[in-house]
Structure 1
């Protein structure tokens, strides 16, 4: 008798669980379906996004190569337009490279204001890759040399002077030039002296620093506290940011 009662109770409990589950499914089942669908769509969407992103990057890479070829061929206006289109519509990495190349193309035409505006924008854009952002900061500062006072140059270049910064040699050299032209000979010497013994200093940078140190000595002997500004080491016109003089240091040379 007990077994029959137990069986009846279990059957009743099972029935109640089924009814409760049915009620819950009736109330919430649609959300489970939507959740499952969302997972499927999310996975498929992620795969489609990766495929589209790769395709877009490949297309933009081809467009960038075409723009570089135009710049090398001397078709600067066409190159500027091509770089500008990529900087506006391309993926972030290519957009940054295109912006730097666009600014360099402007410099080829001696359109310093347009170039400076681009470099200055990239320097302040926190979403820009730090290496490229710092390069833009250096270039913007170089374009201000001779017009900006020492305080402005110091504010622009000080973030680049750290030991681990890839552009520290050029930044120190440029700031020392600004100090020298402002008659701040002690500051100029203090910036240059640590670089002389640095084993990572390139031959080209070493030669430029020697000239600056000679300028400091000449200014002291001549009784003058300032000399005329010369173009900054970063103010070079180039079709692409990768171009540089043979003797200049590169980010790879920095620790």
Structure 2
């Protein structure tokens, strides 16, 4: 009798379990199916996206190499057109590399305004590598050196001088040069002195910093000499007016140094800050 009761209880339990499963499936079966389909579609979608990404990278790489060959064959117009197109619809890092090549070609052709726009285009591209964006910012500042005031260059270059930033030494050198050209000798000295004190600074940058510092010293020495000459003025010639005796020198040390420094100091088209040649990364 007890065995029959046990068997009956088991049948009832199985029936109840089956009914609960049917109810759960009826209520949530659609969601289970949808979830499974979503997982499968997600995996398939990722695989498709990955294959498309790899395919696009291969395509962009081939286009980049083709544009380089055109440039090597002196087909600059065609190369610039291809780099410009690749910079618009290229994949991944090839877009940034295309912008650098385009800017360099424009600079070599004397298209400074176009080169500046291209460098700034890369500098503000949030998807580009941060090192390449920093380099583009540095080159854009170099192109603005002759036209911008010190405040503009300071705004452009200060973020690049952060501790550990890859272009910090080149940015400090360029801003020091800008300060020197603006007659801000104290600022120039503060910016340039660390460049020939710190051991990690590339030798070429340290050498140029020393040259500019020598120019600063020469300018200050010339200024002190002029002050000494005007301390005890010679007796005025007969008939000269008293106002002429107090007339200041026409050329200031800053202006004098600005004119003399072009031969002794680096310009944006030389060395580390050349738009056509990458600034040396420490």
- Verify the 8 A CA contact 1:143 1:235 in the aligned structure 2: no
- Verify the 8 A CA contact 2:195 2:205 in the aligned structure 1: no
> What's 2:241 paired with?
none
> What's 1:207 paired with?
207
> What's 1:85 paired with?
85
> What's 1:64 paired with?
64
- Verify the 8 A CA contact 1:60 1:86 in the aligned structure 2: yes
Give ranges in structure 1 of 5+ residues lacking alignment.
Answer: none
Q: Summarize the Cα distance change of 1:99–1:190 in structure 2 as closer, same or farther, 3 Å threshold.
A: same
> What's 1:220 paired with?
220
CA distance in 2, matches of 1:222, 1:62: 58
- Verify the 8 A CA contact 2:103 2:118 in the aligned structure 1: yes
CA displacement 1:172-194 (0-9 Å, x = unmatched): 11001110111100111111111
CA distance in 1, matches of 2:65, 2:275: 18
- Verify the 8 A CA contact 2:57 2:92 in the aligned structure 1: no
CA distance in 1, matches of 2:102, 2:148: 24
CA distance in 2, matches of 1:190, 1:73: 46
Report which stretch shifted further, 145-154 or 4-13. 4-13
- State the 1:23 CA deviation: 2.6
> What's 1:164 paired with?
164
Give ranges in structure 2 of 5+ residues lacking alignment.
Answer: 224-252
CA distance in 1, matches of 2:84, 2:30: 49
- State the 1:165 CA deviation: 1.5
> What's 1:179 paired with?
179
Report which stretch shifted further, 190-199 or 225-234. 225-234
- Verify the 8 A CA contact 1:160 1:168 in the aligned structure 2: yes
> What's 1:96 paired with?
96
- May I ask how many residue pairs the two structures share in their alignment? 244
> What's 2:49 paired with?
49
> What's 2:234 paired with?
none
- State the 1:235 CA deviation: 4.9
CA displacement 1:219-239 (0-9 Å, x = unmatched): 21232124147532555353x
CA distance in 2, matches of 1:213, 1:90: 44
CA distance in 2, matches of 1:71, 1:215: 40
CA displacement 1:184-214 (0-9 Å, x = unmatched): 0011111111110232333322332232112
Looking at CA atoms only, which structure, 1 or 2, has the larger radius of gyration?
2
- Verify the 8 A CA contact 2:67 2:82 in the aligned structure 1: yes
> What's 1:138 paired with?
138
Q: Summarize the Cα distance change of 1:69–1:208 in structure 2 as closer, same or farther, 3 Å threshold.
A: farther
Report which stretch shifted further, 8-17 or 151-160. 8-17
Higher relative contact order (CA 8 A, sep 6+): 1
- Verify the 8 A CA contact 2:139 2:275 in the aligned structure 1: no
